[in-house]
Structure 1
Amino acid sequence: MKIYTKSGDKGTTSLFDNSRVAKDSLRVESYGTIDELNSSLGFAKNFVEEQEVYDILRSVQRKLFNLAGELAAPDWESFPEKITDEDIEFLEEKIDHYLSQMNKKEKSMFIIPGSSKASGALHQARTICRRAERRITTLAAEADISPDLQKYINRLSDLIYTLARYSESELDYVEFKKQ
């Protein structure tokens, strides 16, 4: 089997329903950014030392395939593995668990990110997730997108942020000058 099909040589690609769109369409940009996020999380896992955090990231990576597939389906309700309320609840449970292990100051102040390889890689993934959320929000203004998908990507950026903060080896707080 060859990896190249030549069907995209003129700048179009197939969606889930086999319709074709420009490779730079907002829909393709949205699920392409999810693909970038998935790869970034895969990289971050290499630096995570706690098995539970590694397993969470692995679970999220698998769900990102569902999310990207749903974005690639113009009629998202026809996609067989949609993001669900249970997926969102999983993220919320993990956020609450890891936030409960931080003190109030840790949760409420800005820090210089990346005091460890794991936290640096997770913060990078967080920024990609936030970009994906922006792209999906723009897409949702012109196309029908699952509300659960939008909630999931919002919670996911919060989870990645929480795991990045949890993974910091030291907290270098940003303090603003008072006027």
Structure 2
Amino acid sequence: MKIYTKTGDQGKTSLLGGERVPKSHLRIDAYGTVDELNSYVGLLRDQEVNQSRSKLLKDIQDRLFTIGADLATPSGKTKVKKPDLHQEDIEVLEHEMDQMEIELPPLRAFILPGGHLSVSFAHLARTVCRRAERRAVELNETEAVNELLIQYLNRLSDYFFVLGRKMAQELQVEEVTWTPRVQ
């Protein structure tokens, strides 16, 4: 099977269910941003510091494929077979954050991204996740988007923030806090 089909050469692509839309369509941007996020999660999963979290990060990647399929399906297309997101998926993220925060010092200031390459990857994933969430919310203004999908992306960005803090702790990297310039 060839990877190229030439069907997108005119700037259109197919959604699940067959409808063709411009590649600039908000729906395409939304699931494209989720795809970009998935690549960053893969990069996070490849970091040695995340070896013990590799399975969870792979599960997150699986959920992101589920979200991508959901976003690639136009509203009203109920006969399209695709995996589902569950409330338990959100609860897993909440549980993981709660466990990491037990060992983290209380947050008393904004944290600047960086300090270690691996930690920076967590912050990149967080910001791309926030953008994916914004795209899903924007799409929801004109077409129905699964409420759990938006909640999951919201919680996932929080997870990446806490993960970045936990990674910094495990790598023994000092968190750099933001100190506003006073005039």
TM-score (norm: length of structure 1): 0.92
In structure 2, runs of 5+ residues without a counterpart are none
Match of 2:49, SS?
Answer: coil
In structure 1, runs of 5+ residues without a counterpart are none
Residues 42-121 of structure 1: matches in 2 within 5 Å?
42-75=42-75, 78-104=80-106, 107-121=107-121
1:143 to 2:143 alignment: yes
Q: Distance in 1 between matches of 2:6 and 2:109?
A: 51
Match of 2:91, SS?
Answer: helix
Q: Distance in 2 between matches of 1:151 and 1:143?
A: 17
- 1:4 positional shift: 1.0
Q: Distance in 2 between matches of 1:109 and 1:79?
A: 45
Across the two proteins, how many residue pairs are aligned to each other? 177
Write the deviation string for residues 99-139 of structure 1: whole angstroms up to 9, x where unpaired: 222121xx231122221221111111111111111111100
Question: Which residue in 2 is equivalent to 1:175?
Answer: 179
Identity over aligned residues, as a percent?
38
Match of 1:53, SS?
Answer: helix
Q: Distance in 2 between matches of 1:103 and 1:3?
A: 48
Question: Do the aligned residues in 1 keep the contact of 2:69 with 2:82 (CA within 8 Å)?
Answer: no
Q: Distance in 1 between matches of 2:32 and 2:23?
A: 10
Write the deviation string for residues 66-122 of structure 1: whole angstroms up to 9, x where unpaired: 010011011375553121101111111111111222121xx2311222212211111
Q: Distance in 2 between matches of 1:173 and 1:16?
A: 44
Question: Do the aligned residues in 1 keep the contact of 2:49 with 2:167 (CA within 8 Å)?
Answer: no
- The residue identity in structure 2 corresponding to 1:123 is H
- 1:48 positional shift: 3.8
Write the deviation string for residues 22-44 of structure 1: whole angstroms up to 9, x where unpaired: 11100000000000000011112
Cα 1:54–1:114 change in 2 (3 A) is farther
Question: Do the aligned residues in 1 keep the contact of 2:12 with 2:22 (CA within 8 Å)?
Answer: yes
- The residue identity in structure 1 corresponding to 2:103 is Q
RMSD: 1.6
Q: Distance in 2 between matches of 1:162 and 1:4?
A: 39
- The residue identity in structure 2 corresponding to 1:9 is D
Q: Distance in 1 between matches of 2:137 and 2:125?
A: 18
